[in-house]
Amino acid sequence: MKIFTSAQIHELDRYTIEHEPIKSIDLMERAAKAITHAITEEWTTHTPVVVFAGPGNNGGDALAVARLLINEGYKVKTYLFNITNHLSDDCVLNRQRLLDGKHAKDLIEVTAKFDPPELTADMLVVDGLFGSGLNKPLAGGFASLVKYINQSPAKVVSIDVPSGLMSEDNTYNVRANIIHAYLTLTLHERKLSFLFGDAQQFIGKLKVLDIRLSPEYIQKTEAQYYVLEENDIRSRLLHREDFAHKGNMGNALIVAGSYGMSGAAVLATRACLRSGVGKVTTITPKKNYDIMQIAVPEAVLQMDHEETAFTEAVDTDGFDALGIGPGLGRQETTAIAMIAQIRRAQCPIVADADALNILASHRAWMQQLPKGIIMTPHPKELDRLTGSPANADYERLHRTCELAKSLQAYIILKGHNSTLCLPNGNVIFNPTGNSGMATAGSGDVLTGIITALLARGYHQQNACMVGMYLHGLAGDLAAKELGKESLIASDIIDHLSQAFQYLED
């Protein structure tokens, strides 16, 4: 599913108006009816409603919603802010429609001084001040109004976007001047900023309302941002032939673990085996031998000559994929062996965890990385790779995209909506997964899954897409059975078989 920018959404509205064809005021009415229906589903006519409408089309939506709620029997008080004496054309038309109704006296147009109404816990506030077109932080009177609304006990429904929140980049926004919505009723699709963790406090519950915008424009218009859908994954799955044998199901190499971190090697190896690969060889220090033999008897073990750390790269002839990094440690001998292993690899590579931390502390080595490498950092690891902490999620995503383009790498930025940044600059968000997966070892599992898929013959992009979707789906199935609080990384592995079965049905 494509995620359009605010500029593209504006163009989509315009295209729909021209090609449906439909008048802009009628498209606004269509949106208002969808918003009103969503409100009436959750609140009865016993709930007093206060509507705050801005001067643009978001305000026009709000005025239309006020009129429709009045027609449904709600008691509505509406405030239209016309500070500069300039309203959008459709806002003017909806103001007149409201004035023509029997409750015209309940519309107050604010042009200068504003005496805010008392907002109580039993009230509903409809926020229609500013929508997706906002491109700078709120200030002055509007900032004060937002703070007043946020400090009240009333529940807030925001139309399209919580006022003050920008649709894409909120890196330098003033967060005190953004509405904290209880419910956001967004039109057509989620906005890009809605996919970031640092925007969730403003959005509240989210409902996406279909207002039947032009499918022709949606189909033909290129987007930079996408959200994975189930059918995207089903169509990319490689199916096992009836006469398959382990020799043609892929041979994966996992380089993981150090003394005291054998669990990382166990998890990555088990996840790799559970993801359909024919054979897995794990390189790990000698002191991990007994643990690995007992925990993962299906794996082939190749011991580093050192007792406690990975110190010597090996040939990758005969291997179809390499996963390297979980639990490796960061000592200098390991660092030298790690970059040597990547240089020697003749197969696709997944680099995770300490492999990334080593690269962050030896930044010149990043120029030696092969094109097409897959990197799976969490936010802090990404910040180390780019050299400084990001100020916001959008800025971190932008840096990830730039790094993916400069290295010609596939980078999965892990999180609630794990994000795949492609070498061409496009971005794919993953919708599966849950907060129960915020647990040690979850990333090691992802490394194992993607390494297995590469060894099975998936292209890097497909391995990343299928891998992160499966990882999140297995986590969702585990959370459904066990609850989020009790979920551990091994539970994700244990539910991989169910995730595969679900997608193969």
Specify the DSSP class assigned to residue 107. Answer: E
Indicate whether 270 pLDDT > 90: yes
Q: Does residue 48 sit in helix, strand or coil? A: coil
Quick: pLDDT tens for 1-57.
999 999 999 999 999 999 999 999 999 999 999 999 999 999 999 999 999 999 999
Q: What is the pLDDT of residue 102?
A: 80
Task: List, edge to edge, every strand of the sheet that includes 2-3.
Answer: 2-3, 225-227, 427-429, 419-421, 410-413, 374-375, 349-351, 321-324, 251-255, 279-285, 300-304
Give percent of the chain above pLDDT 70: 100
Answer for the pair 198, 101: CB distance below 8 angstroms, yes or no. no
Amino acid occupying residue 294: I
Q: How many angstroms separate the CA atoms of 351 and 355, rounded?
A: 6
Average pLDDT over residues 264-286: 98
Quick: pLDDT tens for 348-367.
999 999 999 999 999 999 99
Average pLDDT over residues 432-447: 98
Q: How confident is the model at residue 61 (pLDDT cuts 50, 70, 90)?
A: very high
Quick: pLDDT tens for 71-116.
999 999 999 999 999 999 999 999 999 999 888 889 999 999 999 9
Mean pLDDT of the chain: 97
Q: What is the pLDDT of residue 104?
A: 86
Q: What is the pLDDT of residue 76?
A: 97
Is the backbone peptide bond immediately before 379 cis, with ω within 30 degrees of 0? no
Please report, in angstroms and rounded to a whole number, the separation of the first and last CA atoms in the chain. Answer: 22
Q: What is the pLDDT of residue 505?
A: 86
Indicate whether 330 pLDDT > 90: yes
Quick: pLDDT tens for 471-501.
999 999 999 999 999 999 999 999 999 999 9
Structure tokens at 151: 């400090």
Q: How many angstroms separate the CA atoms of 495 and 333, rounded?
A: 37
Answer for the pair 420, 428: CB distance below 8 angstroms, yes or no. yes
Q: How confident is the model at residue 439 (pLDDT cuts 50, 70, 90)?
A: very high
Average pLDDT over residues 262-280: 98
Q: What is the pLDDT of residue 101?
A: 87
Containing 97, the helix (H) or strand (E) segment is helix 89-99
Residues in Cβ contact with 138 at an 8 Å cutoff, skipping those fewer than 6 apart: 130, 146, 163, 164, 174, 177, 178
Answer for the pair 323, 352: CB distance below 8 angstroms, yes or no. yes
Pairing state of beta strands 183-187 and 155-159?
parallel
